[in-house]
Amino acid sequence: MSAQYALELKALRKNFGKTEIIRGVDLAVKAGERIAVIGPNGAGKSTLFNLISGRLTPTSGEVLLNGQRIDGKKPYEINRLGLSRSFQITNIFPKLSVFENLRCGVLWSLGYKYTFLRFLSNLDDANARTEELIKQIGLERKRDVHAVNLTYAEQRALEIGVTIAGGAGVILLDEPTAGMSKTETSHFISLIKHVTVGKTLLTVEHDMGVVFGLADKIAVVVYGEVIAFDTPAAVRANARVQEAYLGSSVADAQGAGH
């Protein structure tokens, strides 16, 4: 890949009415980096994800995926260009099995959206890729179970599977461990690391244990600006971050043994 960065935000701004919510964000993420986006409630993290994934159009500024402008494009176009996003609310099909949910994701990426009924039975490549995904997310024993009958943590695993099914190189996850127990969370961090090897990952996260367990770098968003973008150790030591946001959260995470 010739582009220097997998994802780049340049002077990105977003207003809602007269209120400026994203206030000039610059961020450059190298291919293969895992980034946690943190910040107080209402800082603009979800808005930033919406701008990157095409759900919102920036008021000004640029978003580049592998060097190509994607701001202004539709979410499915951005998806086709190699960026895939999962949401806080699961968007899997409850009445389809694990296998069927994943195969939908694979087929979509292969471009069979409108004709796939005709091809289902003999799509050996899609089926093989689907079986591989099931193993990756550890749901072999739930292969034929309807999504609605999975546990919450299994549904989240399936959702990660659907998110990566299309082979996107850049993955956005919105609070992937929200609502999980501590044991489920630590298992899930390993799963995310495992399935995103070689990919670029951005995750919005409130749980500092997850942040420090997962991220190569942390972007701290406060009041619509990125006030720090650095390694976990450097962010932890950053006085401005401590003051604006992180002090007590880091102390909590460290106290919890992270």
Ligand X SMILES: Nc1ncnc2c1ncn2[C@@H]1O[C@H](COP(=O)(O)OP(=O)(O)OP(=O)(O)O)[C@@H](O)[C@H]1O
Nearest CB to ligand X, comparing residues 195 and 246: 246
Yes or no: say if 147 and 94 are a contact pair by the CB < 8 Å rule.
yes
- Contact characters 128-167, ligand X, x per CB under 6 A: ----------------------------------------
Q: Which of 4, 16, 132, 248 binds ligand X (CB under 6 A)?
A: 16
| Per-residue exposure over 85-99, b if at least 16 CB sit within 10 Å of its own CB, e if not | bbbeebebeeebbbb
* Segment near ligand X (CB under 6 A); pick from 1-9, 35-43, 58-66, 79-87: 35-43
Rank residues 91 and 151 by Cβ distance to ligand X and give the closer one.
Answer: 91
Contact residue for ligand X among 7, 9, 12, 21 (CB under 6 A): 21
Minimum distance, C-beta of residue 253 to ligand X, in the bound complex (Å): 17
> Least distance from C-beta 151 to ligand X, angstroms?
25
Q: Considering beta carbons, is residue 20 or 62 the nearer one to ligand X?
A: 20
φ and ψ of 160, to 5 deg? -60, -40
Query: What stretches of the chain adopt beta strand conformation (E)?
Result: 7-16, 19-29, 34-38, 60-65, 68-69, 83-86, 170-174, 200-204, 217-222, 225-230
Q: Which is nearer to ligand X, 47 or 97 (CB)?
A: 47
Instruction: State the Cα–Cα distance between residues 161 and 231, nearest whole angstrom.
Output: 27
User: Please, what is the minimum distance in Å from the beta carbon of residue 32 to ligand X?
Assistant: 25
Query: Residue 145 phi/psi, 5° resolution?
Result: -85, 140
Instruction: Tell me how far, at minimum, the Cβ of 84 lies from ligand X, in Å.
Output: 19
Least Cβ distance, residue 48 to ligand X (angstroms): 7
Total of chain residues touching ligand X, rule CB under 6 A: 10
Pick the closest to residue 37 from 218, 227, 173, 213 (CA basis): 218
Which of 130/177 has CB closer to ligand X? 177
**Cα(first)–Cα(last) distance of the chain, in Å?**
35
Name which of residues 36 to 75 contact ligand X (CB under 6 A). 39, 41-47
Q: What are phi and psi of 66, to 5 degrees?
A: 50, 40
**Residue at token pair 């919102």:** 56
CB of 20 to ligand X, least distance (A): 10
Query: Where along the sequence are the contacts to ligand X (CB under 6 A)?
Result: 16, 21, 39, 41-47
